[in-house]
Structure 1
Amino acid sequence: MRNITVLKGDGIGPEICSEVVRVLETLKLDLNFEMYEVGEACYEACGELIPQAVFDSIENNKIVLKAPITTPIGKGFKSLNVQLRNKYNLYQNIRPAKSLPNIDTPFKNIDIITFRENTEDLYIGEEVQIDENTVHAIKLITREASTNIAKAAFEYAVANGRKKVTCVHKANILKLSDGLFLSVFNEVAKEYPQIEANTMIVDNTCMQLVMKPEQFDIMVMPNLYGDIVSDLTSGLIGGLGLLPSANLGEDFAMFEAVHGSAPDIAGQNKANPLALLLAACLMLDYLEYRDEATKIRNAIDEVLKEGSVRTADIGGSASTTEFTDAIIAKL
C-alpha cells in the first residue's frame, strides 16, 4: 500500500480535493490517502499554517497531492506553496497545457509544456526596505539550479518524444542573472543534439504564444516567468481550471492545480475539479499507474465531448459533484 499525503487547502480546495480523491478511489488502486488541513482554516483552528504532523507525513510518504492554499496579497504570511517547494527542493515545476475536447478556444491542438525553475529567482522573497519610499527585491539565479531545470526539460523531451525546447529569458536587460540562465541553457543544449533548441525573450514569447502557439513544444525558464507564462498557456486551452502541475525533486514530489483558492465561490459546489484531477493523473504517471491515468483522461474527454455536463467556467451549469459523477460514470 502506497501512502499519499493529501493537503485539502483553503477556499474551494476541500471541495475539489474530496471529489478528486473520490475519482481515485473508484479505480481501487493500492493507494491510501492521508488527509490534512493546512492554510488559513488550519491556522484559525490550531494556530499553525502547516502542523508538524503534515511535515511528518510528507517526509514519510514523499508524495503530496495538494489543493489550492490561499496566499495573502501584499501582507501576511509568505506563500505556503513556495515554502513547501523550497523545503523539499522541488526544483522542477512542470505545467502541461493540452487542449481538451469541445472547449471553445481561439486555438486548437495546443500541447505546450512549461518547465519552471521552482526554487529561486524573485520567489526567494528577499526584500529590503531601503527607506519609506524604496524597496529592493533580490533576484537569485544560480548555475546549479539553472543546470538542473535545463537538464530536466531536455531529459523529458528525450523520454517523451518531444522535438524542441525553448529557453525563455530577459537576458537583453538582466545581463548577469538571466544571462547566466541563458548561457547554462546553451551549454546543456549541446548535450542533446537530437532536440531542437532555441531561445526567446519573455515579452516576445508572450506575443508569439497568442499568435502562433503551434511553434512551441517545451519551454524552460526562471521562476517568475514560468508562473506568468504558464498562466498564459492555460488561457490557450480554456483557463486556469484546466491546468495541472507537477513539482518534482530528487526525493519528493508534489502535484497540484495551478489555480488559486477562489474564496468567492468556496462552499458553493461550483468549482471545476479538472486541474486538480489532471494533476492527480500526473501523480499516477509518476507512480507508474499510467494505464489508470489514461483511463481518467479518457473519461474526462468523453464527458467533455458529450458536453451536457460541465462546470460554469467552461460553459456549463453543473456542480462540482455532478461533473465528478459524470467522470466516475465513464470510469
Structure 2
Amino acid sequence: MRKIAVVEGDGIGHEVIPVARSVLEMLHPEFDFFPVEVGYGMWERTGCPCADKEIRELKGADAILFGAITTPPMKDYQSVVLRIRKALDLYANLRPVPGNGFDIMIVRENTEGLYSGIEEAGPDRATTLRVVSRHGTERIVRAAIRLARERSGLLTIGHKANVIKSDVFFRDICLAEAKAAGIPYNDKFIDALSLDLLQHPKNYNVVVTTNMFGDILSDVASYLVGGLGLVPSANIGDQYALFEPVHGSAPDIAGKNIANPIAAIRSAVMLLDYLGDKAGAVRAETAIETVLAQGIRTRDLGGSAGTQEFGNAVLKVLRQQM
C-alpha cells in the first residue's frame, strides 16, 4: 500500500490541496493518506513551523503532496521549504511548462545557490552566501541530461557566467557533462534566456540552471500557459519525492473559494507519474482539459467557478471516465 503524506500548509493550500487529494483518492482509494502539519500556522500555535517529528513523518511516505507555505520576513523564522528540501535531499526541482507546440521542462538545482541558508544580518549589512558545489552541479545536470535523453531534446544551460564566478563554475561543469553524454546542448545568459524563452518557446526542451535563477525563470515561463495557478512542480531526490504547486500561499485570497486548484491537481498528476501510474496521470490531466473545454474556469482564467466547484467538475469527469 502506498503511503501519501498530505501537507496543506498555509493560505490557499487548505483549499487547493484537498481538491488534489480527492483526485488521488478517486483514482487510488487503496492509498493510505495521512496529514502532516507544517508552516506558519503551526508556528503561530507552537512556536515551531517544522520539527524533527514532522520530518520523520515525511520520510515515512512514498510521496508527499505539498501545499503552499507562508514564510514571513522575520529573522528568527526558519524556512519550512528549505528545511524539508535539505532534510530529504530533494535536489532536483522539476517544473514542466507544456503548451501549444512546445513542451519545456525547467530543471532547477534545489538545495544550494542563494537558498543555501547561510546568512547573516546586521544593522548596516545583510549577506547570503551563494553556494555552488561540484557535487550539487554534477547531480543536477546529470538529472537534466537524463530528461533530455528521454525526451530526445536539446539541453539548455542557463547561467550568468559573464558576471558571476560561481556561474562560470556551474556552466563549465554542465558543459563538460553534456559533452561527455553526447547530447545536443547550448548555453545562454539567464537574462537573455528569460526573454527568448517567452518569445520562442518552441526552441526549448530541457533547461537546467541554478536555484534562484530556476525559481525566477519557471515563474516567468508560467506566463506561456496562463499563470502560476496552472503550473505544478516536483522536488525529487534519490530517496524521497515531494509535489507542490508553484504558486504561493496567497493569504489575500485564502478562504474565499476563488483559488485555482489546477496547479495542485497537476502536482498530483506528477505524483502519480512518479509512482508509476502513467495511465492515472493521463486520466487526471485529461479531466482538467475536459473541464476547461467545457468553459468551467476560475476567476484568474476569466471564469466564475470557485475552487471547490472546479474540483467537483474534475471529479465528475473522472467518474464518467471510470
Name the TM tier (shorter chain): over 0.9
- Any residues of structure 2 matched to 1:193-212 within 5 Å, and which? 193=182, 195-212=183-200
1:292-311 CA-to-partner distances (Å, cap 9, x unmatched) read 0100001111111121x111
Aligned with 1:199: secondary structure? strand
Cα distance, 1:51 vs. partner? 4.2
Structure 1 residue 30: Cα displacement: 2.9
Letter in 1 for 2:64: V
Say if 1:310 and 1:318, in contact at 8 Å, map to a contact too: yes
TM-score normalised to structure 1 length: 0.92
Aligned to 1:315: 302
Per-residue Cα deviation, 1:142-170 (whole angstroms, up to 9, x for no partner) = 111000000000111222x2310100000
- Is residue 148–residue 205 contact of structure 2 (8 Å, CA) maintained in 1? no
SS of equivalent residue, structure 2 residue 186: strand
Aligned residues: 318
Where does 1:126-165 land on structure 2 (aligned, <5 Å)?
A: 126-129=118-121, 132-159=123-150, 161-165=151-155
State whether residues 36 and 57 of structure 2, in contact with CA within 8 Å, keep that contact through their aligned partners in structure 1.
no
1:168 alignment partner AA: G
Q: Which residue of 2 aligns with 1:330?
A: 317
Deviations 1:158-189 (A, max 9, x none): 22x231010000011113x1111101111111
**Cα deviation 1:12-66 (Å, max 9, x = unaligned):** 1111111111111111343111012221222233333124442222122242110
TM-score norm. by structure 2 comes to 0.95
Cα RMSD (Å) of the superposition? 1.5
Q: Is residue 2:162 matched to residue 1:172? A: yes
Which of 181, 190, 206 is residue 192 of structure 1 equivalent to? 181
**Is the 8 Å Cα contact of residues 68 and 260 (structure 1) preserved in structure 2?**
yes
Q: Is the 8 A contact 1:62 1:251 kept in 2?
A: no
Q: What is the identity percentage for the equivalent residue pairs of Structure 1 and Structure 2? A: 39
Q: 1:224 matched to which residue of 2?
A: 212
The corresponding residue for 2:107 is 115
Runs (5+) with no aligned partner, structure 1: 100-107
Q: Secondary structure at 1:78's aligned position in 2?
A: coil
Runs of at least 4 residues off by over 6 Å: none
Structure 2 residue aligned with 1:14: 14
Does 2:286 correspond to 1:298? yes
Alpha-carbon distance between aligned partners in 1 of 2:62 and 2:31, rounded to the nearest angstrom: 13
Per-residue Cα deviation, 1:116-164 (whole angstroms, up to 9, x for no partner): 00010110132234x63333321110111000000000111222x2310
Contact 1:116-1:149 at 8 Å conserved across structures: yes
